[in-house]
Structure 1
C-alpha cells in the first residue's frame, strides 16, 4: 500500500464533472467573498445553496441580517503559514461569541434568525461559509446552534493524510454534529506523494473546494487543480485524490443527500414556493412568526458605529 492509500475499495470513483474558479466579489459591508455555489453559473447544487470563501478586514463584515429556511455552516480557516483571527457572532436571542481560527459554527436558522458576523480584532480573517438547505418539514423549526472549538473537532492523521471531520465520517471517526439534511464535511490535508480514497454515499451530491496547494482529483492522469477551484463530482461511491506536488495540498470534501424539492429563494430567505417567500417577507417586516425579537434589536457592532 502506497503512502496515504487507505484500505477502502471504491467500485466506481467519482470523476470531476465540472470545474469553477471562484472569483472575488463584494458582499455585506466591505467584505470580499469568493462564491462558487450560489452564483449565476451554479445557482443551486441540491442541497447546497451557497459556498463562500470569505475575507474580512478592519470594519468590514456582515452586519445585522436575517435568515429563514436553511442552515449556515461557518468554518474559520487556519492556513499552513499562519493563524487567521476570528469572527464575532451575535443574534437577537442574545446568543453571541467568537468563532476563532479552526472553529466551527453550525447554525440552523429555521423559522427565523437575525444576526451579525463581524471580524474579531485586527488583520484579515478568512473562512468558509456553506448554506445547507432544509427540507420543507424542517424549514420552520426553532433556531439552533451547534458549535465546536478547533481542539474538539475530531482529527485523524495516517500515511500522509490528515482529516478534520466537521460532519459525517472519515478514516473511522465520526463527527457529533447533527445534520438535519444528511451531510458530510471533511477538511483534508495531503502531504507530498500521498493518496486519498474517501467513500461518499452513491446517491449524494458532492463537491471539492481547494484551499491550498495543487492536487489531482478523480482520475490520476488529470491535470492538477489549484486554490479557489470548486470541483463538482459525478456519480460514484467515492473520491480519489493524489498530491503529486512538493507542497501540502488542502481541500474540503462536502456531500449531501439531495432534497429533491422546489426552491424559491430571495436573498437570505429560502422556501419552497413564491407564496412562502411572500409570507416570509411579511413576517420579517411585521416582526411576527419567528421575527418578533427583531423589532428592537441591533447588534453591539452596529450600535457601536452610532456612538
Structure 2
C-alpha cells in the first residue's frame, strides 16, 4: 500500500525506543483492574511522570474515597463514564473522549466511580509537580470530547490533549510543561512528530500494531509502553491492515528528589511524614476530609 506521511514536519534526529514494557493487569482500588506501565517495580519514575494506568472498571468496583497531595492526575476516558466527587463539593461525570486534568496540590480527597453500565475504560497519568507548586490550591481543568482540539492529515488523526500537533494546540495549561497526544494512524500512514530535545517522552499503544523509531524496528502491539531515547521527535509507521492508535506523552524533567508514599508525592521523607500527619489530623489542606464521604462511598456502605 502507498505510504502516507506528514512530509512538511521536520524531525532531524528521530528518537529510538530504549526500553519496552508490556503492562500486565493487576488489581487496584476496590475491585478495579489496571495495566500499570509507569509506577511499577521496573520503572518507579520517569521524570516528571509518576504513574500511567490503563484502567478497566465495572460497577460496583471503582476507586472510592482516597487522598492526593503534590502532583496532578490526568484522566482520559476511552469507553464508558466515571463520576468524580471531592471534599470541596466538586462533582462531575466524564464520558468517552472526555478529559479531567486535576491539580491536587496541597490536598484533595476524592472518589472516582463508574457512571454507566458495562465496563469503563481509560487512562490515568500522574504528573509530578515541582517543589514550588506542591502546596498550591487544588484546581481542575475539564474538557468535553467535543472541545478537545483535533486535526487530520495524510492518514493521521490526532487529539491534542496537551501541547501541539499537526498545527493545532490544546487550551490546557500545564504547570509541569507537558505534551499529551492521542494519535490514530490508518494503514500505510507515517508520522513525524517533533518533541523538545530536553524532554522525556514515551509511547503507550492502545490498539493495533506499529513500528516506532525506525522502520526496521520490531512491531509493537497494544498495552506496551515504549520509553524514547534522545532526539528531536518521533517517527512511527503503520505497516499493517488495521488502524494503529497510541498516545505520545512528553514532559520537561523536574530534576528534584522524589519521596513518595502511595498517593502522596513530595521531595523529602520529612515532607511525607508531615503530609501523613496533616491527613490524619485533618489540617493544612485536609480540613474538610474529617466529615466528608462521597455519595458513591455512602451508597456502598463505607
TM category, shorter: over 0.9
Does residue 46 (structure 1) correspond to residue 41 (structure 2)? The answer is no
Q: CA deviation at 1:20?
A: 0.2
Distance 2:245 2:5 in 1: 14
Q: CA deviation at 1:4?
A: 2.8
Does residue 75 (structure 1) correspond to residue 80 (structure 2)? The answer is no
1:207 aligns with: 202
Distance 1:8 1:97 in 2: 38
CA contact (8 A) 2:47 2:254 kept: yes
SS of the residue corresponding to residue 275 of structure 2 reads: helix
User: What CA deviation, in whole Å up to 9, does each residue of 1:122-145 have, x standing for no partner?
Assistant: 100000000000000000000000
Does residue 144 (structure 1) correspond to residue 139 (structure 2)? The answer is yes
Q: Which ranges in structure 2 are unaligned for 5 or more consecutive residues?
A: none
2:181 aligns with: 186
Distance 2:263 2:80 in 1: 25
SS of the residue corresponding to residue 306 of structure 1 reads: coil
CA contact (8 A) 2:6 2:153 kept: no
Does residue 268 (structure 1) correspond to residue 269 (structure 2)? The answer is no
User: What CA deviation, in whole Å up to 9, does each residue of 1:209-228 have, x standing for no partner?
Assistant: 00000000001101110000
Q: Which ranges in structure 1 are unaligned for 5 or more consecutive residues?
A: 78-83
Distance 2:300 2:252 in 1: 42
Q: CA deviation at 1:242?
A: 0.3
1:26 aligns with: 27
Does residue 120 (structure 1) correspond to residue 121 (structure 2)? The answer is no
User: What CA deviation, in whole Å up to 9, does each residue of 1:47-75 have, x standing for no partner?
Assistant: 00000000001211100000000000000
Does residue 158 (structure 1) correspond to residue 159 (structure 2)? The answer is no
Distance 2:186 2:175 in 1: 33
2:193 to 198, 205, 214: 198
- CA RMSD for the aligned pairs? 1.0
1:85 to 80, 86, 95: 80
Distance 1:6 1:256 in 2: 25
1:217 to 182, 194, 212: 212
CA contact (8 A) 2:213 2:234 kept: yes
Q: CA deviation at 1:306?
A: 2.6
Distance 2:185 2:301 in 1: 47
1:167 aligns with: 162
1:130 aligns with: 125
Q: CA deviation at 1:2?
A: 4.6
Q: TM-score, length-normalised on structure 2?
A: 0.98
Distance 1:2 1:222 in 2: 17
The size of the alignment, in residue pairs, is: 301
- Displacement over 6 Å in runs of 4+: none
Distance 1:64 1:199 in 2: 39
